[in-house]
Amino acid sequence: MEDRLPLRKGMTRLIFIRHGQSVANEEGRFAGQTDVDLTKIGYEQAERAAEYIVKREKIDKIYSSDLKRAHNTALPVSRLTGLPINDVEGLREIYAGVWEGRLVSELWAEYEKDFYTWRNDYSNARCTGGESVKELYSRVVPFVKALAKENDGLTLLLASHASPIRAVDCSSRGYGWERMSDVPFVKNSAISIFEYDPESDKLSLVERDLIEHLDPSLITFIPQGLRN
């Protein structure tokens, strides 16, 4: 990521960071909105990401999912900038219904049809008893745009989760929820940057899945069973 360029008038810069490795990631669980914390690696990833971001960007406000793995990922940026963290439900991960906190291996065994769709037709997937990918997209994208409008011309740090960032990425490419499958997940503590133009009501992608701040030993992924 190069040093930031001045924003065009009226544009809002959105710097997303996916939470660091969580206990659920480490254990191979489908976290959803289950409120798990970061691992030791996750905390280190968050520190590295914060140092990287603050050197290159002037953050005006910090927003985070109200789940602790995202909030605690934003904490180092808060400490370095002196800015408070605004916790919001709108940046939460997908609600996973009966999958919440379950091992991925158990989902394959007990909810084979629904979980097969998640793995192979993500756009049309629904967590059993929970939120669908379409519903996630319809929740997150308008929320992020409203936040950008509210903070016109500012640079925001947003700590969130894999699926919400995937939805924003999808929208920035001009895709609806139907093409969510075409956009891959990002890694733990990866940085993705978007800009929002209020005149066109459109998000545009600047950078995605940046992990330059991480040593190879600190690069972690979504558990294998959840990647598609």
Q: What is the pLDDT of residues 4-53, one digit of tens each?
A: 445 556 799 999 999 999 999 999 999 999 999 999 999 999 999 999 99
- For 45-94, the pLDDT digits (tens) are 999 999 999 999 999 999 999 999 999 999 999 999 999 999 999 999 99
Answer whether residue 178 shows pLDDT above 50.
yes
Among this protein's residues, is 71 annotated catalytic?
no
- pLDDT of 2 reads 47
The CATH architecture one would assign to domain 12-20+37-95+132-155+167-220 is: 3-Layer(aba) Sandwich (3.40)
| pLDDT of 225 strictly over 80 | no
pLDDT (0 to 100) of residue 167: 98
pLDDT value, residue 7: 52
Sign of CA dihedral 158, 160, 164, 169: positive
Of the residues 57, 93, 131, 195, only one is catalytic, namely 93
Is the pLDDT at 3 greater than 70? The verdict is no
pTM of the prediction? 0.93
Average pLDDT, the chain: 94
Write down the domain spans for the chain. Answer: 12-20+37-95+132-155+167-220
pLDDT score, position 1: 46
pLDDT of residue 127: 98
Give residue 189's region: left, alpha or beta (phi > 0; psi -120 to 50).
left
Q: What is the pLDDT of residue 221?
A: 82
pLDDT of 214 over the 70 cut: yes
Q: Which residues contact 78 (CB under 8 A, 6 or more apart)?
A: 62, 84, 85
Does the annotation count 93 as an active-site position?
Answer: yes
pLDDT of residue 224: 52
> What dihedral angle (degrees, nearest 10) is formed by the CA atoms of 81, 93, 121, 21?
60
